[in-house]
């Protein structure tokens, strides 16, 4: 993750609502009881215990039947707070201090995770007020002040690292996705299941924010016949037959994709589909992009496979997909290009949260990071 820190220029806010006590919640650390007031969040007036409406977001998270996004946030806060809470804050920050901290982009990219960061701040302290000048999916440039959070200093510092960790990772994914999606056109870019454990929905949400499309969410929402399934089933035709029988017997309707690695396997799939009513919807063309010694790629095999399939099924290219190769792959006529690198090799976008923004910008200019 890119570095981020919080520098203080504290002021005692005498007119602000003061804390009436401290509450220790083991999953979250120390939190403040407060006199509740209505605040404006995400362009909607909500009361003490709002739950952000995903329907109001510019780019909604993908759906998942069992994923608990609030649970992920609580877990991230809990691992940070441990069983004592933020001992540095408790030792150094008076409970009645209120501050305003600003989000600064320290490099160019696509911002993502704004909605998730807001959820983190709310979970720590519902009285914190967060405002943004940008929204998820917008471009940011180095040195841009794109948002602020106001309220109790202790609460802001407790939430800071977790909020930034989510934002930096999601922004890194969105930035790479945007670059690949632009180069891949007219093909559409997909991620894979190569996501950080526990962050499946978060990573895939970031891909959507960057302008990509989601591949299957998990093992449950799409049949994807890969090389190991084919080997165990005794061949690609047997695997397709087994899937069609399974779906028919259970009266299930879902997308079905099969991985092919050779032109011969493509021919077998097409031959099976020409003789049988099948649920197959997409054919993956795996590692048909051949790297060359000069750093270029040969897409001849991929083009041949795409032409063989025609428009009978959707097509997806996989393997040897990089920023340098994705444009050439996208010109072959393939419908989708999937890249595990979008999420498994993400470089976080450098973002910081600062109170003394002038000093932060001075330091940033000195280190060429603002």
Contact 41, 129 (CB under 8 A): yes
d(Cα 260, Cα 57) in Å, to the nearest integer? 38
Q: What is the CA radius of gyration of the chain?
A: 25
Pairing of strands 290-291, 223-225: unpaired
Rounded to 5 degrees, φ, ψ at 277 are -75, 120
Q: Which residues of 227-241 are buried (b: 16+ CB within 10 A; e: fewer)?
A: eebbeebeebbebbe
Look at the block and give the residue holding tokens 């589909």.
273
- Alpha-helix residue ranges (DSSP H) falling in the chain: 69-81, 87-92, 114-124, 153-184, 200-209, 227-233, 236-249, 263-275, 300-309, 326-330, 341-344, 357-366
d(Cα 287, Cα 275) in Å, to the nearest integer? 27
Taking Cα atoms as reference points, which of 314, 308, 287, 284 lies closest to residue 299? 287
Contact 333, 306 (CB under 8 A): yes
Point out the residues that are catalytic: 161, 194, 226, 259, 286
Question: What is the C-alpha end-to-end distance of the chain, expressed in Å?
Answer: 17
d(Cα 205, Cα 9) in Å, to the nearest integer? 35
Contact 69, 119 (CB under 8 A): yes
Sign of CA dihedral 338, 339, 344, 348: negative
- Alpha-helix residue ranges (DSSP H) falling in 4-113: 69-81, 87-92
Contact 287, 319 (CB under 8 A): yes
């Amino acid at each position: 993750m890119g570095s981020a820190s919080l520098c203080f220029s504290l002021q005692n806010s005498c007119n602000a609502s003061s804390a009436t006590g401290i509450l220790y919640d083991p999953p979250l650390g120390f939190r403040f009881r407060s006199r509740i007031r209505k605040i404006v969040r995400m362009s909607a007036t909500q009361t003490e215990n709002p739950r952000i409406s995903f329907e109001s977001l510019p780019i909604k998270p993908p759906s998942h039947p069992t994923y608990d996004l609030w649970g992920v946030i609580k877990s991230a806060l809990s691992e940070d707070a441990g069983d004592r809470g933020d001992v540095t804050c408790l030792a150094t920050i008076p409970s009645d201090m209120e501050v305003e901290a600003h989000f600064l982009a320290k490099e160019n990219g696509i911002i993502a995770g704004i909605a998730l960061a807001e959820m983190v701040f709310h979970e720590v302290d519902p009285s914190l007020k967060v405002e943004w000048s940008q929204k998820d999916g917008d471009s940011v440039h180095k040195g841009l002040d794109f948002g602020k959070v106001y309220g109790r200093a202790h609460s802001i510092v407790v939430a800071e690292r977790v909020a930034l960790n989510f934002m930096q990772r999601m922004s890194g994914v969105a930035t790479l996705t945007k670059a690949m999606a632009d180069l891949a056109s007219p093909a559409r870019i997909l991620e894979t299941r190569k996501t950080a454990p526990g962050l499946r929905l978060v990573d895939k949400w970031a891909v959507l924010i960057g302008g990509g499309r989601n591949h299957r969410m998990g093992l449950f929402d799409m049949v994807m016949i890969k090389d190991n399934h084919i080997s165990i089933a005794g061949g690609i035709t047997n695997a397709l037959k087994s899937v069609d029988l399974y779906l028919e017997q259970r009266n299930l309707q879902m997308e079905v994709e099969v991985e092919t690695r050779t032109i011969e396997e493509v021919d077998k799939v097409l031959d099976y589909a020409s003789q049988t009513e099948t649920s197959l919807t997409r054919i993956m063309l795996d590692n048909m992009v051949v790297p060359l010694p000069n750093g270029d790629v040969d897409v001849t095999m991929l083009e041949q496979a795409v032409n063989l399939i025609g428009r009978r099924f959707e097509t997806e290219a996989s393997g040897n997909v990089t920023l340098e190769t994705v444009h050439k792959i996208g010109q072959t006529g393939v419908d989708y290009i999937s890249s595990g690198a979008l999420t498994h090799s993400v470089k976080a976008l450098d973002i910081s949260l600062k109170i003394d923004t002038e000093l932060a910008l001075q330091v940033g200019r000195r280190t060429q990071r603002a």
